[in-house]
Amino acid sequence: MAAGTRERLIEAATVLFYREGFRSVGLDQVLGDVGITKTAFYKHFESKDDLMVEALNRQNVWLQNHFLQTIREHGGTSARGQLLSLFQAIEQIMNEPGYHGCIFISAIMEFPQPYDPAHLAAVENRRAIERIIVEIAERARASDPEALAKEVCLIIEGAFVSQQLTRDTASLAAARRLVESVVDRYLPAESVVAGDFISRTHSRVGESPG
């Protein structure tokens, strides 16, 4: 089926791009893994660049859903718990045996021009994560939700790079303490309940609320 071929292309390309880099992977390598011709490929994508952007978009959706699921399962009802559970979601990714860093950071490094489609797709991931953090922070009446979100994202990005370089659990622990410090600095001193953040947010990105 055509849809099956498209999905296989995205899945194969994502694995290769993540493991070997976007520029290092040739289109023929992806096609060889999937077992199709260039003629068949061009029925689904206009170019390798088009495939790269779709792979990044899919990873963006996956990561947002991973965050939302972790909040639902481990964040509880407090804003602090929900915000800290985001770092727990990051730790799960970093502790995977096949961890090779952040695919979005890799895309920005390989395509530094701000107008490049792959660069833009990677930047959208940062914005999506910031939006999740801002919504939780606003419900908790944080003093500056946008600043909180930017600082947490900066720490997360640094943790991604540090973990790729060192595989050091102490670095992850230090990053977690930094996130805790940022969250505590911006949230009100009293215990604020974030409540039904998940029920008011799409249970999965791309789906309508139930």
Superfamily of domain covering 47-200: Tetracycline Repressor, domain 2 (1.10.357.10)
pLDDT at 197: 54
CATH code assigned to 1-45: 1.10.10.60
The pLDDT tens digits of the residues spanning 137-162 come to 999 999 999 999 999 999 999 999 88
Rounded to 5 degrees, what are φ and ψ at 8?
A: -65, -40
Task: Give the residue with greater pLDDT, 134 vs 207.
Answer: 134
Could you tell me where in the chain the CATH 1.10.10.60 domains are found?
A: 1-45
Could you tell me where in the chain the CATH 1.10.357.10 domains are found?
A: 47-200
- The shares of helix, strand and coil residues in the chain, as percent rounded to the nearest 5, are 70, 0, 30
pLDDT at 102: 94
pLDDT at 195: 54
DSSP of 9-31, one letter per residue? HHHHHHHHHHHH-TTTS-HHHHH
pLDDT at 71 over 90: yes
Q: Would you place residue 209 in the very low, low, confident or very high pLDDT band (cuts 50, 70, 90)?
A: very low
